């Protein structure tokens, strides 16, 4: 556990310092959100954070789309957190002089629709019944999530974003944004993602959902806040976390090392005899403290259904209407979202005649690399954003 002094020093190192989560209410009836699966939803509360200042021209905004179990807290610290508090999940990337330079850019990150960190989701109160939605929450898609992000952007008075950035499920949102609102972004950065989830990815999601639903405490989704299928949700997280790692990263970190002793116990009861077992149990325990089981079901299903090619007829149809510049990046050790899948996006963009950069990055950390390998992100994103920003300034000058 970190000491108070260590925590204070870490907070001082954080580029943006203390931050606050803001709330916006969108899609107030009768202006409902029309859902891709049918039906309507509203009002929708959106939890979001911003870093930096928006220029008078409102031309320096960057939107970060978080991954499956992420949230709006991408950078900084909360002032009322205790000594165990952690910074935002991309804190090393955001702040003055950093890749997402808050002296230059206005950075936005919002919790997704269907989430459980402040944005309307299954755990939210249904205004019509005054009870939590639970499984009465409507089915949502990645497209619905992006509709809410887009509405938040307009709510903030921003007509066009300098960039939209995301990895994994966040990368799916980036691609959907470029297809659905082609004029609303000048550049797109898609990390460790794909235009559709693989059959293997769908299979792992299915096992995770089954673990949740078969937990007796799931109660068909009718559990109370703070209760619910803790064992099933922890197991789902353990399964998913294995897919985020690579064989190399697991061997590097754990190997076959034992947890508390030097020899095998030769007993069936211990479940954490190996260090890797202890690590997965720890990840599961931590996850149930911050995430809602129903949200996990809804968001993994949204990932399963995402298929840009089927939705728009082809990837070229989907991505051909935007003038945005693209940066597509994959990782050689990522077996959940492979380089082959990234190259499918690349080929479609080339066929459309789009400005696109592609790189396969080397990393031992598997799918989690885009959350860990900050220096690699700095080296490729910093010049890409600078080019997008400078091209925008040139175009603005030409118009005047």
Active site residues per annotation? 168, 334, 367
Residues facing residue 41 across a β-bridge = 33
Q: How many residues make up the chain in this entry?
A: 400
The alpha-helical segments, DSSP class H, found in the chain are 4-13, 142-155, 169-180, 199-213, 230-244, 247-253, 275-288, 293-305, 308-312, 315-319, 339-351, 369-372, 374-399
Structure token pair of residue 74: 């991408």
Q: Is 237 annotated as a binding residue?
A: yes
Pair 59, 160: CB distance under 8 Å: yes
How far apart are alpha carbons 134 and 121 in whole angstroms? 8
Label the pairing between strands 22-26 and 44-51. Answer: antiparallel
Phi first, then psi: what are they for 362, rounded to 5°? -95, 130
Query: Does 368 carry a binding-site annotation?
Result: yes
| Angle (deg, nearest 10), helices 142-155 and 169-180 | 70
Dihedral class, residue 48 (left if φ above 0, else alpha if ψ from -120 to 50, else beta): beta
State how far the Cα of 305 lies from the Cα of 144, in Å rounded to an integer: 12
Owner of token pair 């998913």: 240
Residue 211 CB neighbours (<10 A): 22
If one counts every other C-beta atom within 10 angstroms of the C-beta of residue 207, the result is 12
Asked if residues 161 and 305 have their Cβ atoms less than 8 Å apart, the reply is no
Dihedral of alpha carbons 62, 66, 72, 78, sign:
negative
Give Cα 329 distance to the centre of its chain. Answer: 15
Q: Which of 111, 116, 112 is nearest to 133 (CA)?
A: 116
Residue 18 to residues 24, 63, 89, 111, 204, Cα–Cα distance (Å): 20, 20, 14, 18, 37
CA 228, 234, 236, 242: dihedral to nearest 10 degrees?
170
Task: Show Cβ contacts of residue 240 under 8 Å, excluding neighbours closer than 6 positions.
Answer: 68, 204, 205, 208
Task: Please state the residue numbers annotated as binding site for substrate.
Answer: 237, 368
Task: Please state the residue numbers annotated as binding site.
Answer: 237, 368
């Amino acid at each position: 556990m970190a000491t108070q002094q260590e925590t204070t020093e870490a907070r001082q190192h954080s580029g943006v310092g203390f931050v606050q989560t803001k709330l916006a209410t969108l899609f107030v009836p009768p202006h409902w959100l029309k859902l891709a699966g049918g039906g309507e939803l509203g009002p929708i509360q959106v939890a979001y954070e911003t870093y930096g200042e928006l220029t008078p021209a409102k031309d320096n905004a960057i939107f970060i789309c978080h991954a499956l179990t992420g949230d709006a807290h991408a950078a900084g610290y909360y002032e009322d957190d205790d000594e165990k508090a952690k910074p935002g999940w991309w804190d090393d990337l955001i702040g003055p002089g950093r890749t997402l330079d808050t002296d230059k850019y206005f950075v936005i990150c919002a919790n997704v629709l269907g989430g459980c960190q402040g944005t309307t989701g299954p755990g939210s109160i249904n205004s019509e019944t005054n009870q939590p939605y639970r499984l009465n929450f409507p089915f949502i898609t990645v497209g619905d999530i992006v509709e809410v992000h887009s509405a938040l952007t307009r709510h903030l008075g921003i007509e066009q974003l300098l960039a939209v950035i995301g990895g994994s499920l966040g990368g799916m949102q980036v691609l959907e944004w470029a297809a659905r609102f082609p004029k609303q972004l000048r550049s797109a950065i898609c990390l460790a993602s794909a235009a559709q989830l693989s059959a293997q990815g769908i299979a792992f999601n299915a096992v995770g959902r089954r673990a949740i639903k078969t937990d007796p405490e799931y109660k068909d989704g009718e559990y109370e806040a703070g209760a619910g299928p803790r064992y099933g949700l922890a197991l789902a997280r353990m399964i998913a976390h294995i897919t985020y790692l690579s064989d190399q990263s697991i061997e590097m970190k754990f190997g076959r090392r034992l947890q508390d002793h030097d020899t095998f116990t030769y007993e069936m009861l211990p479940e954490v005899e190996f260090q890797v077992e202890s690590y997965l149990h720890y990840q599961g325990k931590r996850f149930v403290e911050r995430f809602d089981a129903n949200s996990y079901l809804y968001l993994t299903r949204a990932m399963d259904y995402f298929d840009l090619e089927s939705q728009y007829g082809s990837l070229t149809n989907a991505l051909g209407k935007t003038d945005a510049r693209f940066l597509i990046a994959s990782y050689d050790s990522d077996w959940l979202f492979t380089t082959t899948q990234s190259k499918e996006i690349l080929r479609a963009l080339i066929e459309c005649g789009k400005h696109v950069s592609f790189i396969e990055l080397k990393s031992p950390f598997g799918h989690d690399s885009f959350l860990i390998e900050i220096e690699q992100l700095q080296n490729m994103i910093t010049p890409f954003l600078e080019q997008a920003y400078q091209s925008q300034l040139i175009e603005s000058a030409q118009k005047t």
